[in-house]
Amino acid sequence: MVRVITWAECGLPVASPILDACTVTKTGMVYTSGSVGSDANGNVPESVEEQTEIAILNLETVLKAAGSSLNSVVKALVFVTDPALVPKVNGVYAKYFTTKPSRSCVITKLGAPQFLVEIELVAEPRFTGTDTAAVAAAAVAAAAVAAGSIYYCLAGRPVRADPARPQAFLRSRYPGTAAAAGRTPAAGTGRKAAPRSSGQTSACLGRPALAG
């Protein structure tokens, strides 16, 4: 189900009685209506630069009301009435869209002769602080986990299964992991690391240790 946000919710004058400011999908994607260079009082400046700035600022207000922002825009559609005006539009546009989202520019007439530019946007939900970061493996997982007679090694540090290397080889490389898992295999048992199809054993971060 989509959520519709009205112009009134954005604190902007109604641009048209047949459309609202934007719709928000259940995944948080925001689809705005077109925005022209008309200010809160209905005034339309003569220069395309001023119209472009007003259109973008109006869209910024709409995105904020929808829980997004200009930095979250993934697609812009720009309508300009004259190809000669495009460089001027771009000069203003570049100040606000520093992330350089995908964009299309169409030369066409608009709904009224005083309008020189119109912009509509598609944006993701605003960044909420969840991000990826490099974390030392030792901070989140042991080098290896003992599961019965098998050692599962940390991803990125595989140990190749080799019949000539008994399980004692893994215990010597990762001391303390057997005790941490609650069992200490007898030394010299000759048990081997269980091979995967690739001939290596490795553990996946976040996967619980197996009970042996």
Which pTM was predicted?
A: 0.59
pLDDT at 2 exceeding the cut of 90: no
Residue 132, Cβ density class (10 Å: 0-12 exposed, 13-18 middle, ≥19 buried)? exposed
Eight-state DSSP code of residue 192:
P
Amino acid type, 105: C
What local confidence, expressed as pLDDT, does residue 14 receive?
A: 78
> What residues are paired with 59 via a beta bridge?
none
Confidence band of 203 (pLDDT split at 50, 70, 90): very low
Q: Give the chain's mean pLDDT.
A: 76
The tokens for 125 are 């939900």
pLDDT for residue 83? 96
Percent of the chain with pLDDT over 90: 42
CATH 3.40.50.10420 fits 3-123, yes or no: no
- The CA distance from 89 to 110, in Å, is 15
pLDDT tens per residue, range 16-61 = 777 888 899 988 899 999 999 988 888 899 999 999 999 999 999 9
First to last CA, the chain: 47
Longest C-alpha distance within the chain, in Å? 89
Statement: residue 175 has pLDDT above 90:
no
The pLDDT score that the predictor gives to residue 140 is 53
Domain ranges of the chain: 3-123, 137-201
Comparison of pLDDT for 56 and 126, the residue scoring more: 56
Distance, in Å, from the CA atom of 69 to the CA atom of 127, rounded to the nearest integer, reads 9
Exposed/middle/buried for residue 5 (C-beta within 10 Å: 0-12, 13-18, 19+): buried
Higher pLDDT, 118 or 171: 118
Tokens at residue 196, please?
């995967």
* Interval 14-27: pLDDT, tens: 777 778 888 999 88
Is 50 exceeded by the pLDDT of residue 182? no
Highest mean pLDDT among 3-12, 154-163, 175-184: 3-12
Which pLDDT belongs to residue 163?
A: 55
Q: What is the pLDDT of residues 61-110, one digit of tens each?
A: 999 999 999 999 999 999 999 999 999 999 999 999 999 999 999 999 99
**Cα Rg of the chain, angstroms:** 30
